[in-house]
Amino acid sequence: MYIYIHIPFCNCICSYCDFCKMLYNKKYINDYLDSLEKEIKSRYKGELIRSIYIGGGTPSSLSLNELERLFNIIKIFNIDNDYEFTIECNVDSLSIDMIKLFSKNKVNRVSLGVQSFNQDILKILNRNHTYEEVYKVINNLKNNNINNINIDLMYGVTNNIDIVKQDIDYFLNLDIPHISCYSLIIEDNTILSINNYKNIDEDIEYEMYKYIENKLTSKGYIHYEISNYAKEGYKSIHNINYWNNGYYYGFGLGSVSYIDDYRITNTRNINKYNKCLFISDKEYEDINIRMSNDMILGLRKIEGISISEFFDKYKKDIREVFSIDDLLKDNILIIDNDKMYINSKYIYLSNDILLRFLDIVN
């Protein structure tokens, strides 16, 4: 089993973020951690845990004492010997004492929300750090035996592809094993949306995507999901479970669980959450929804979907469930032995491709 824990507090609000979050306010923290502990104790059934992922928000916005309390809460979990334990952090809040606390509590993977090394881009995104600060934090992590490090980078903020090229060069100089590269999406009700910020030209955005792909793969990174690259042995175990449409617990404000074919969504209202009114929606997913989700998520992976595993799971042939003949004929979808995947030429357009065949045919 896999576990996600949401920490909704941030020291500042990024202009592009539409996740469940709020500015750090100490008066909420203890009540929130109390409620989080109650939720975990009421829902966790003692399964063996392969991965824990603490995200946000900004988990590193918590104080050392608050983080210590959080780590004590999650000692309830029965963790596999071969585990992945990730925590998301911002560079400007990740102190050496915090890193030592992570190491002491068996955190073995850190994901840094960097987004860019360019100060003009960071200003647009309402973030604040320098390359030197990122470099120092990564050295501190490595010196405390946390070598599994991811950086989130964002492209497509402006039309200037030279900034993207420089960001990738800076990343490569850091010598870390994982990078997640996302194009800017202007979500409703974000600061960028309210300020009427516009998306860049789609052709330029695609050029940026291909540059990143070609540069990173030439340097030994495996492109294993639309937006993710890793050195051998460093693919995100936690995220692969999402893309495989596997079960997982989600604890905390606004989190989502997928357990026994039920999609369970927690409230985004902190007052309700702190009154232990955790769940806002619980929906059963029938076989058609599950098969569609397997396709939507699984075809994000560069290796695609196992045809035999799909049959074992649903007792249905994937080629009979979905209308894919035209996509196969046009070489947009490829079947190679047991794998079905999107042709690398079209992976960037995967959302458009999925829309063409996600109607279930009985």
Residues 51, 140, single domain; the answer is yes
Overall number of domains in the chain: 2
For strands 109-115 and 148-155, give the pairing: parallel
Residues 151, 70, single domain; the answer is yes
Q: Is residue 260 part of a domain?
A: no
Q: Is residue 252 part of a domain?
A: no
Residues 233, 339, single domain; the answer is no
On whether the CB atoms of residues 262 and 285 are closer than 8 A, the answer is: yes
Q: Is residue 283 part of a domain?
A: no
Distance CA 170, CA 257 (A): 36
Residues 219, 314, single domain; the answer is no
Q: What is the DSSP letter of 192?
A: H
On whether the CB atoms of residues 79 and 119 are closer than 8 A, the answer is: no
Residue where a domain stops, chosen among 204, 221, 242: 242
Residues 40, 131, single domain; the answer is yes
Distance CA 237, CA 83 (A): 9
Residue 351 exposed, middle or buried by CB count within 10 Å (0-12, 13-18, 19+) = exposed
Note the pLDDT tens digit of each residue in 200-256: 888 899 999 999 999 999 999 999 999 999 999 999 999 999 999 999 999 999 999
Residues 238, 309, single domain; the answer is no
> CA of 34: how far to CAs of 69, 252, 275, in Å?
10, 11, 10
Q: Is residue 148 part of a domain?
A: yes
Closest CA to 28 of 7, 1, 51, 58: 7
Residue-by-residue DSSP string for 271-319 = HHHTTT--EEEEEE--HHHHHHHHHHHHTTBTT-EEHHHHHHHHSS-HH
> CA of 121: how far to CAs of 19, 111, 115, 171, in Å?
20, 20, 9, 16
* Domain limits for position 318: 305-362
Note the pLDDT tens digit of each residue in 87-140: 999 998 899 999 999 999 999 999 999 999 999 988 888 888 889 999 999 999
36: which 2 tokens? 């989080």
Q: Is residue 254 part of a domain?
A: no
Q: Is residue 335 part of a domain?
A: yes
Residues 310, 238, single domain; the answer is no
Note the pLDDT tens digit of each residue in 42-94: 999 999 999 999 998 889 989 999 999 999 999 999 999 999 999 999 998 89
Decide if pLDDT at 185 tops 90: no
Residues 120, 31, single domain; the answer is yes
Residues 109, 238, single domain; the answer is yes
On whether the CB atoms of residues 254 and 267 are closer than 8 A, the answer is: yes
- The domain that holds 100 is classified in CATH as 3.20.20.70
Residue where a domain stops, chosen among 194, 211, 242: 242
Residue where a domain stops, chosen among 242, 270, 286: 242
Residues 310, 178, single domain; the answer is no
Query: Higher model confidence: residue 361 or residue 276?
Result: 276
Residues 125, 6, single domain; the answer is yes
Q: Is residue 128 part of a domain?
A: yes
What are the backbone angles phi and psi of residue 224, rounded to the nearest 5°? -110, -10
255: which 2 tokens? 């989190």
Residues 320, 231, single domain; the answer is no
Q: Is residue 265 part of a domain?
A: no
